[in-house]
Amino acid sequence: MKAIITAAGLGTRFAPVSKIIPKEMLPIGSKPALELIVEEARLAGVDGITIVISHQKEMIRDYFTSSSDIDFVYQEEQLGLGHAVLQARTDDDVLVLLGDALVHGCSAASEMVKISKENNFASVIGLERVPLEKTSRYGIVKCDDHDTNSSVVTIRDMIEKPSPELAPSNLAVAGRYLLKREIFELLANQAPGKNGEIQLTDAIARAARDAKFGEVKGFVYDGKRCDIGNPDGYYQALTIFRG
Ligand code: UTP
């Protein structure tokens, strides 16, 4: 299994500072946030890590240049998260970690790998519970009713940023994905979705709806996810990680 960390996004929510510092390199204590994510991937036991960057984010490559288990691919145009993952296409199953999503209080990736091995799950999507009024900020999963209070659910569908009236649950996709290699085929012919972007959520939703890909499971991991892609989330991360 390989890890893919996406870090090629424009970072508009963190402008103007993101013009000069990639948001993924903002400090959490004495380390850039991305280093914490690399540590999480290594702890989960991956065979190698590919970081997806853009030419404006060479700082990331410079920082990690001496790490022998890390390589880099470029996303030439920012066409969405699904497109970023596709740039790192491989023949292996993959653990995808968003470069601007930190998890405090557990190693989400390790928990997901463990649960998939123990139960022979094909794909596991990391989830968090969110307040119903905030569903329009997240990818929300649809699962069987009897599953909604459990920490492991079978995902039937996924909807990108639904309003609370249209949200099928309060379970949100939370920055970590364990995916079978078949995801790359789906991404390669994925039509643009919300905001005209190639959405990873849309490709996973197709896998969830099609029995031939095996069941897509969701797992509510134990830790707290911080989205450092915007100033409020970043300040929250600084407070939480300081302890
Ligand atoms: P986000 O949607 O949070 O990042 O993607 P963004 O596009 O940089 O955000 P804004 O809206 O401009 O502020 C989650 C992760 O996926 C990466 C981002 O770098 C981030 O780490 N990403 C997103 C890509 O690598 N490529 C893309 O085209 C989009």
The domain locations on the chain are 2-242
Give exposure, 57-85, as e/b (b: 16+ Cβ within 10 Å).
beebeebbeeeeebebeebeebbbbbbbb
Predicted confidence at residue 243, as pLDDT, reads 78
* CATH code assigned to 2-242: 3.90.550.10
Predicted confidence at residue 137, as pLDDT, reads 92
Name the residue type at position 235.
Y
Q: Respond yes or no on whether the N-terminal peptide bond of residue 32 is cis (omega within 30° of 0).
A: no
The distance of Cα 238 from the centroid of its chain, to the nearest Å, equals 20
Cα 96 from Cα 29, distance rounded (Å) = 24
The atom number, within ligand 1, closest to the CA of 13 reads 13
Q: What are the angstrom distances between the C-alpha of 3 and each of 45, 81, 145?
A: 9, 15, 32
Asked whether the beta carbons of 158 and 142 are under 8 A apart, the reply is yes
Predicted confidence at residue 149, as pLDDT, reads 79
Predicted confidence at residue 107, as pLDDT, reads 96
Cα 33 from Cα 233, distance rounded (Å) = 12
Would you tell me how many other CB atoms lie within 10 Å of the CB of residue 51? 27
The atom number, within ligand 1, closest to the CA of 99 reads 21
* pLDDT tens digit at each of 243 positions of the chain: 999 999 999 999 999 999 999 999 999 999 999 999 999 999 999 999 999 999 999 999 999 998 989 999 999 999 999 999 999 999 999 999 999 999 999 999 999 999 999 999 989 999 999 999 999 999 999 998 777 778 999 999 999 899 999 999 999 999 999 999 999 999 999 999 989 999 999 999 999 998 888 899 999 999 999 999 999 999 999 999 997
Please tell me if the CB atom of residue 73 comes closer than 6 angstroms to any atom of ligand 1: no
Give the burial class of 16: count Cβ atoms within 10 A of its Cβ; 0-12 exposed, 13-18 middle, 19 or more buried.
Answer: exposed
Q: Which two tokens stand for residue 198?
A: 């190639």
DSSP state of 62: H
Please tell me if the CB atom of residue 32 comes closer than 6 angstroms to any atom of ligand 1: no
Q: Whose CA is nearest to atom 9 of ligand 1?
A: 11
Predicted confidence at residue 108, as pLDDT, reads 97
Predicted confidence at residue 236, as pLDDT, reads 96
**Helices assigned H by DSSP within 32-120:** 33-43, 58-64, 81-86, 108-119
